[in-house]
Structure 1
Amino acid sequence: MEIVGIVVVCVLAVAGANQLAPRVRIAAPLLLVGFGVAVSYLPGVPPIWVDPEVVLIGVLPPLLYAAAVALPAMDFKRDFQAISGLSIVLVVISALLLGLLFMLILPDADYATGVALGAILSPTDAVATTTVKRVGAPQRLITVLSGESLFNDASALVVLRAAIAAMAGGLSMVGVALSFVWAIIGAVIVGGAVGWVFIVARARISNAAVATAVSFTAPYIAYVPTEIMGASGLVAAVAAGLVTGRGSVRRLTAAHRQSDQQTWRTVELLLEGGVFLLMGLELKALVMDVTASHESVIHAFWPAAIAFVLLMVIRWGFVMTLVAAISRRSRRVIAREPILEQMQDRLGDPDAAADRLTRRFQRRIDRRLADIEYYRTESIGFREGHVVVWAGMRGVVTLAAAQTLPADTPYRSLLVLVAFVVATGSLMIQGSTLGAFIKWMRLPDHRADAARELQRLNREMASISVEVLTDPAVCSDSMLARNVEQVRSLEASDDGDPTGDVLDRRLRNAVEMRRVRRVIIDRQRAELIDLRDRGAYSSEALTSALARLDAEEISLDAQANR
């Protein structure tokens, strides 16, 4: 009964913090950490220790999987350079440089121990993404920060594993490099295969709730065999999520996708909130452990402060260098636009009779031109770079990873407390000021461009509706007579959803109405998938349009079951 009461209190605390956070303009993780710290020091509350495996194995795989499913694969590919740089290269550089710092300021700590602590402090948390979305930052910035938080946990844990092995004298530099490469490549192969198998299998399950229940096992089925193989289970979970997110539109029904979205959103809320709450609850136990080791709690603050400053300096230098490299690459890509346009004009618009190679080549040119437009309109400059720097907050992975240090590590209790101080200090300082910092940077406002793009997309969807409503192969003769004059007004409309306005008013036969509306939905979805593969519109606009079709399809299913 006691465990049940604790679980109930934790769930209510997570729900209350997320409800209160927008009103007080404080991030929910900050509220949960503060609440946990306050509860841990209440009279009668015993010290609370959480097994780090609970977080690293029980919580992180589903959290990273869910975030990867929601990340647009198209945007991920376009910004792979920035994401890989932040989540892999920056983590390695930070760990190595922090290793030098801790070797100098901590007596009896060798370089391997310093690198281990550096790896613990290197990964950033996804909590910044919520704040960035809330203030209306550009979509490209959100994609980069989301992608970084997906992969840097895994890369940091791989570096930590190698550093711990080096502490025991069991790994060479060549071994470290090979282990790191295999951890990524092996994980991508296994995770991608698991994601594809699950998509195919779940498409055969008619019950949406059952299919969603099956999806809960996907991150763990990707994680466990990958770890047994010596690769990164977390990267495998992310790879499975990316494959699932890309394939779900083609293979799963609207009911499946809606069930997945709502259920996984709840799971994310509870898991993410729960680990921040536990992070605060552990403070008392950490302090008692340091005291029992005859070390001073105060001594954890000045190494943590120096490490935090050094982390920000390293991140600033790397991000500014990365922004310059991205800008140079974007200019080179944009410079190819005239050549690609000439090639597009020569090819024309291949019809269905054209050979497959020609059509494939045409699509690749279309995709490259769409990428150029993306880099032109969604550029990342130094203002966006400063936001990326300040959004690099540490979180619960830092504390969980610190607790995996071997028991015989010098100053182990103090090092764990240092990790806690860096993580909570980062959340407090950066988390409480990130929204104001983003507004102060005055990032370009793309909302007007996004609205115009959505109007163009709606017009394309409206033209498909017109084609269906005036197609003799779809509509009966009597229906055509009623529809021809009515649908012409839709050609100039920005509504893009004539099925609800015209068909509901003009078609009297409910069965016939639903059949025609389903044809429209199927053709519009096929066109949206094609536009996504070509990169013709932003992921934000395409996601919005696909969600509207899903809602329409679910509404039709509900009407048919009455």
Structure 2
Amino acid sequence: MEIVGIIVVCVLAVAGANQLAPRVRIAAPLLLVAVGVAVSYLPTAPNISVNPEIILIGVLPPLLYAGAVALPAMDFKRDFQAISALSIVLVVVSALLLGVFFMWILPDADYATGVALGAILSPTDAVATATVKRVGAPQRLVTVLSGESLFNDASALVVLRASIAAMATSVSLIGVAVSFVWAILAAVVVGALVGFVFVRIREQISNVAVATAISFTTPYIAYVPAEVMGASGLVAAVAAGLVTGRGSLRRLTAAHRQSDQQTWATVELLLEGGVFLLMGLELKALVEDVWESHETVWHAVWPAAIAFALLMAIRFGVVMALVAGIARRSRRVIARAPLLEQMQNRFGDAEVSADRMTRNLQRRIDRRLADIDYYRTSSIGVREGYVVVWAGMRGVVTLAAAQTLPAETPYRSLLILIAFVVAAGSLMLQGGTLGPFITMLKLPDQRADAAAERRRLNREMVAISEEVLHDPSVCGTDGYLARSVEQVRALEADDDFEGDALDLRLHNAAEMRRVRRVIIDRQRVELIDLRDRGAYSSDALSAALERLDAEEISIGAYRPH
């Protein structure tokens, strides 16, 4: 009964923090860490120590999988260079440089131990993404930060695993590099295969609840074989999520997608909130462990402060170099626009006689031109780079990874407390100031452009609707059915379901629903094609696709009286 009571209180605390956070303008994870710390020092509160495997194996795979499903594949592809640099290069560089620092300040620690702690402190947390979205930062920044938080946990744990192995035996640098590459590549293959297979399996299941239940197993089924092969199970879970997110639009029904979205949002809320709450609850036990090892809290605070400053300096250097590289690459890509436009015009003149190979080439040219528009309108400059630097806050993965250090590691309790101070300190300092910091930078306001883009996309959807309504094979030749559908759609747009709208729905309702399904199907096919060509932003396309799903579900839910 006691465990049940604790679980109920934790769930209510997570729900309450997420409800209160927007009102006090503080990120929910920060509130939960603060609540956890306060509760841990209550006289009647027991010391709480959570097995780190519960976090690393039980919690992280579904969290990363859910985040990957929601990440637009086209945006991820366009910013793969930036995401890979932040999630792999930055993690490795930070771990190696911090290893020198910790080896210098800890007399009994060797370089492998220092690199292990550097790897523990390197990964950033996704908590910054919510703040960046809330203040209206450009979508490209959101994509880069989301992609970084998905992959850097895995790369940091791979470096940590190699460092722990080096602490026990001598490992060559080449061996570590080969193991790292294998851990990433093999995991991507395994995860992509699992995501592809499970989308196909769920496509055959008509029961929405059953299909959603099966989705809960996807990240773990990707994780386990990858780990058995010596690869990264977390990278496999992310790869499975990316493939699932891209394939679900073509393979699954609107009801499946809506069920997945709502259910996984709840899972994310509880898991993410729960681990931040546990992070705060563990503080008292960590401090007592340090005292028992004849150290003081001060011995953890000053190394943590210096380590945090070093992390920010390293991140600043890498991000600014990355911004310069992105600018050079964007200029090279944009310079190809005139040539591509000439080729596009040439293919357009020969469109009638174009064969399949030519059409595929034309689609590739369209996609490249769409990429050029993306790089031109959504640039990442110095100000955006400052946001990426300050958004690199640490989180619960840092603390969980620290607790996986072997028991014989020198200064183990102190190292874990250092990890906690860095994680909690960065959450409080950066998390508490990120919103005002972004506002102060006055990033380009893209809301007008986004609204204009949505209007253009809506006009394309309206044109498809008109085309269907004037298609005799769908609506007949007398025009009555087409007029009825148009009237119902117009009345429903005004939220008026009484009188004439209800009469029209009841009269020949089955035929009207059939026409509306045809419209939805053709609009969805066009939206998927636009997504594959990158013709519109992921935000505009996602909003349009969600509206189609909602309309399709409402049609299916209609029952004549």
TM-score normalised to structure 1 length? 0.96
Kept after mapping to 1: 8 A contact 2:87/2:151? yes
**Cross-structure match for 2:298:** 298
Match of 1:309 in 2: 309
Check whether the contact 1:532–1:539 (CA below 8 A) recurs between aligned residues. Answer: yes
Number of the residue aligned with 2:20? 20
String of CA shifts for 1:157-202, please: whole Å, max 9, x gaps. 0000011111112421111000000000000000000000000000
Distance 2:204 2:486 in 1: 37
1-side partners of 2:324 and 2:351: how far apart? 41
Higher deviation after alignment, 115-124 or 25-34: 25-34
Q: Distance in 2 between matches of 1:46 and 1:474?
A: 69
Match of 2:516 in 1: 517
* Aligned twin of 1:279: 279
CA offset at residue 477 of structure 1? 2.7
Mark the CA change 1:561 to 1:250 in structure 2 (over 3 Å): closer, same or farther: farther
Asked if 1:333 is matched to 2:333, the reply is: yes
Residues 197-247 of structure 1: CA distance to partner in whole angstroms, max 9, x if unpaired?
A: 000000000011110000000000000010000000000000000000000
Q: Indicate if the aligned counterparts of 1:220 and 1:237 stay in contact, CA closer than 8 A.
A: yes
Gap regions ≥5 residues in structure 1: none
Distance 1:349 1:2, change over 3 A: farther
Structure 2 residue aligned with 1:198: 198
Q: Residue 50 of structure 1 corresponds to which residue in structure 2? A: 50
Matches of 2:50 and 2:305, distance apart in 1: 25
Q: Percent identity?
A: 76
Structure 2 vs 1, CA of residues 505 and 496 (structure 1 numbering), >3 Å: closer, same or farther?
closer
Provide the rounded CA distance (Å) in 1 between the counterparts of 2:446 and 2:521.
30
**Residue 541 of structure 1: aligned partner:** 540
* Distance in structure 1 (CA, Å) of the matches to 2:59 and 2:43: 29
| Distance in 2 (alpha carbons) for counterparts of 1:199 and 1:116 | 37
1:282 and 1:184 map into 2 onto residues whose CA distance is 32
Three-state SS of the structure 2 residue aligned to 1:477 is coil
Distance 1:515 1:353 in 2: 34
> 2:435 corresponds to which letter in structure 1?
G
User: Residues of 1 paired with 2:283 and 2:451: CA distance?
Assistant: 47
Deviation at 1:409, TM superposition (A): 0.6
State the one-letter code of the partner of 1:45.
Answer: A
- Please show how residues 142-153 of structure 1 align to structure 2 within 5 Å: 142-153=142-153
Aligned AA (2:116)? A
Equivalent residue, structure 1, for 2:108: 108
Whole-Å separation in 2 of the counterparts to 1:185 and 1:521: 39
Cα displacement (A) at 1:474: 0.3
Matches within 5 A, 1:78-117: 78-117=78-117
Note the 1:472-511 alignment, pairs <5 A: 472-478=472-478, 480-481=479-480, 483=482, 508-511=507-510
1:462·1:496 contact (CA, 8 Å) conserved in 2?
no
Which AA in structure 2 matches 1:14? V
Q: Which residue of 2 aligns with 1:343?
A: 343
1:28-52 deviation line (CA, Å, top 9, x unaligned): 1111011111111111222110000
Structure 1 residue 487 displacement after superposition = 6.5
Change (3 A) 1:363 1:496: farther
**Structure 1 SS opposite 2:558:** helix
Q: Does 1:529 align with 2:512?
A: no
* Structure 2 Cα separation of the partners of residues 497 and 529 of structure 1: 24
3-state SS of paired residue (1:474): helix
User: What is the distance in 2 between the residues matched to 1:200 and 1:95?
Assistant: 40
Alpha-carbon contact 1:209-1:259 (below 8 Å) kept = yes
For 2:474, the aligned partner's letter is V
Residue 216 (str. 1) matches residue 236 (str. 2): no
In structure 2, relative to structure 1, the CA distance for the partners of 1:245 and 1:498 (3 Å cut) is farther
In structure 2, list runs of 5 or more residues that go unmatched: none
Instruction: Give aligned pairs, total.
Output: 557
The amino acid that maps onto 2:422 is V
Cα distance in 2, alignment partners of residues 561 and 298 from structure 1: 72
